[in-house]
Amino acid sequence: MKPVIEVSALHKTYGSGETEVHALRGVDLAVWPGEYLAIMGASGSGKSTLLNVLGCLDVPTRGTYKLDGIDVGDLNERQLSLVRNRKIGFVFQSYNLVPRTSAMSNVELPLVYAGVGRKERRERAMAALEMVGLVDRAGHKPNQLSGGQQQRVALARALVTGPAMVLADEPTGNLDSESTDEVLAVFDRLNRIGRTIVMITHEDHVAGRAARMVRVSDGQIVEDTSQWRRTGALT
């Protein structure tokens, strides 16, 4: 079994000379299929830079990053865009839903960009909404949904392409405690059926739901709670 994420000696430097900032300093990280990983760190720790690299939104200054076996460093901008669309399901703090369209249409969007036909789009979008428990809200617009429901629509949109991993950036940051529990319960359920989840959070109780926690400080991983092995089981 190969890792979904394989990062080796990853560095990211911004600026030069006196303004040079070392955001990542030799990060090594492997994430295996079916893992549920939380990445934590204070502001300026490098966790947001790591998120951008893992999401193929930025490229490292040096080091390697393989996503589902693909060496991201070998890709051009168009290829990176395709990888983002097909291999990564993004969930953001602010939902990023299209306001005047239904939940169904929002979930379909990545499939529209991928050129998937209407009938298949509808079937796959409905299946994704069922996974997050929102089939009965398929025709509702975002302003007709609670914050927790909007985030679950965003999660369905992230799942609809069948990505190698779901990458969630502070997914509960805008939610009250009840909605947070609602959304985290969906993440728990998805992980139980084998989905790979990487979540960026600054909240201990949110990170506590993950099976593994990695803490970043000064551009380096300073704590990793996992004993995950190539067998795909925790020991």
Residue-level pLDDT at 231: 40
**pLDDT (tens digit per residue) in 83-121:** 998 899 999 999 999 999 999 999 999 999 889 999 999
pLDDT value at position 229?
42
CA distance 40 to 214: 6
The CA angle 171-129-192, to the nearest 5 degrees, is: 65
Q: What integer pLDDT is reported at residue 95 of this predicted model?
A: 94
**How many degrees, rounded to 5, is the angle at CA 195 between CA 231 and CA 141?**
175
CA distances from 144 to 129, 138, 216 (A): 16, 11, 38
In the DSSP assignment, the letter for residue 3 is -
From the CB of residue 9, how many other CB atoms can be counted at a distance below 10 Å? 13
**Cα–Cα dist 30/36, whole Å:** 12
3-state secondary structure of 129: helix
Over range 6-21, report the average pLDDT: 92
> Domain spans of the chain?
5-226
pLDDT confidence tier of residue 30, bands split at 50, 70 and 90 = very high
Tokens 């983002």 sit at which residue? 84
pLDDT band at 234 (very low <50, low <70, confident <90, very high): very low
pTM above 0.85, yes or no: yes
Residue 147 scores a pLDDT above 50: yes
126-140: pLDDT as tens digits: 999 999 999 999 999
pLDDT at 233 over 80: no
Residues 17-49 as b or e (16 or more Cβ within 10 Å = b): eeeeebbbeebebbbbebbbbbbbbeeebbbbb
Question: What per-residue confidence (pLDDT) applies to 235?
Answer: 36
Do 98 and 105 form a contact (C-beta atoms < 8 A)?
Answer: yes
For the four alpha carbons of 148, 100, 167 and 36, in that order, the dihedral sign comes to positive
Instruction: Give pLDDT, residue 17.
Output: 84
Are the C-beta atoms of residues 164 and 133 closer than 8 Å to each other? no
pLDDT of residue 74: 85
Residue with tokens 């239904």: 102
Instruction: Please give the CATH topology (third level) of the domain spanning 5-226.
Output: Rossmann fold (3.40.50)
